[in-house]
Amino acid sequence: MILASSLCSPLGLRRWSAAALVALASGFLAPLQAQTAPQAATATRSVNEWLTRMHEASRQRAYMGTLVVSAGSVMSASRIWHVCDGAQQMERVETLTGAPRTTIRRNNEVITFIPESRTAWVEKRESLGLFPELLRTPSNAIPDHYGVRETGVERVAGHLADVVEIVPKDPLRFGYRIWSEKKTGLVVRLQTLGEQGNVLEQVAFSELQLDAPVRMDKLNRLMNNTRGYEVHTPVLKKTTPEAEGWRLRESVPGFLSMSCYIRDGGEATGADAAPMQWVFSDGLASVSLFVEVFDAQRHGQEKSSVSGATHSVTRRIGDHWLTALGEVPPATLRLFAQSLERAR
């Protein structure tokens, strides 16, 4: 659920893209493939109906709680306050582990405060919510690539929740197991599942108060109070891959181009030329292609790496260096990497 990296700042928050507590994920959950029929109930809603219900729940409700995220051996926690008045959404996220950091967003405006360095990073994000491009991709092809099944009802943070599995129809994308609060539809726990149904990454509320007294005016004051902070506002310039001289030789099934940006750094050329970020989505999963001028001192051997559900693949393309990054199987990233080529 946030791109794992951002051209806007080195502080781009990761999206809520997984679920659950480590203790619950380590042995008490059956793999996805083991939960096929007969015990899986027939879905009463389509995959789009479920996802729309989950997506809209956070837009219509105030809540506060503690989120626990685990990816591999790494676990972190944050405190979240969320409110929506029908026209505006506001949210404050404060880290409880690691370096202190507070992020406040108002619709697509985001500011991240870092107390240790007394710096604040301001950016705009087109994509907000659980899944960055949920139901926003042209023609909405999610049902072509994912199915859905309902597997029961469980309690999470004291709330009853429907358990729903979003099942990929091919090996190019991961699956999800989602706990949706029964009355509101709010996602209270989510797991990203690997090819064998293993849990790659998890996020869950360990404590949640629905209809909490979260005040938008207070969040606005906090967001605007940058006194004592050095404010950084990186500027992104919207562009097209064609304008930057790039294209995909072959498309990757299900993934559509969503946006393309470069950091607006004036007329820099050569090694200082602005890097490009080309974003793709299938409606749930996102892939970013970061392209920059090759630098022998910074760029080593081509390699693959993984952190939780996030994989990356690097490749040299002539005088440029590609980093393909996303919460998808490495084979999917390799298809992107092999297909990207200079158009001029």
Proportion of the chain above pLDDT 70, given as a percent:
81
Q: What pLDDT does residue 102 have? A: 97
User: For residues 333 and 303, is the Cβ–Cβ distance under 8 A?
Assistant: no
Proportion of the chain above pLDDT 90, given as a percent:
64
Q: Of the ranges 5-14, 69-78, 143-152, 178-187, which one carries the lowest mean pLDDT score?
A: 5-14
Q: What pLDDT does residue 216 have? A: 93
3-class secondary structure per residue, the chain: CCCCCCCCCCCCCCCCCCCCCHHHHCCCCCCHHHHCCCCCECCCCCHHHHHHHHHHHCCCCCEEEEEEEEECCEEEEEEEEEEECCCCEEEEEEECCCCCCEEEEECCEEEEEECCCCEEEEEECCCCCCCCCCCCCCCCCHHHHEEEEEEEEEEECCEEEEEEEEEECCCCCCEEEEEEECCCCCEEEEEEECCCCCEEEEEEEEEEEECCCCCHHHHHHHHHCCCCCEEECCCEEECCHHHHCEEECCCCCCCEEEEEEEECCCCCCHHHCCCEEEEEECCCCEEEEEEEECCCCCCCCCCEEEECCEEEEEEEECCEEEEEEECCCHHHHHHHHHHEEECC
Q: Is the pLDDT of residue 42 over 70?
A: no
pLDDT tier, 32 (very low <50, low <70, confident <90, very high otherwise) = very low
pLDDT tens digits for range 160-209: 999 999 999 999 999 999 999 999 999 999 999 998 889 999 999 999 99
pLDDT tens digits for range 51-74: 889 888 877 789 999 999 998 888
Q: What pLDDT does residue 265 have? A: 59
Mean pLDDT, to the nearest integer, of 223-232? 96
Q: What pLDDT does residue 344 have? A: 74
Q: How many CB atoms lie within 10 A of CB 232?
A: 15
Q: Is the pLDDT of residue 239 over 90?
A: yes
Q: What pLDDT does residue 248 have? A: 97
Q: What pLDDT does residue 39 have? A: 37
pLDDT tens digits for range 288-317: 999 999 998 889 889 999 999 999 999 999
User: For residues 57 and 49, is the Cβ–Cβ distance under 8 A?
Assistant: no
Q: What pLDDT does residue 34 have? A: 29
Q: Is the pLDDT of residue 31 over 50?
A: no
User: Which pTM value belongs to this model?
Assistant: 0.82
pLDDT tens digits for range 112-135: 999 999 999 999 876 544 443 454
Average per-residue pLDDT for the chain: 82
pLDDT tens digits for range 265-289: 555 445 556 899 999 999 889 999 9
Q: Is the pLDDT of residue 249 over 70?
A: yes
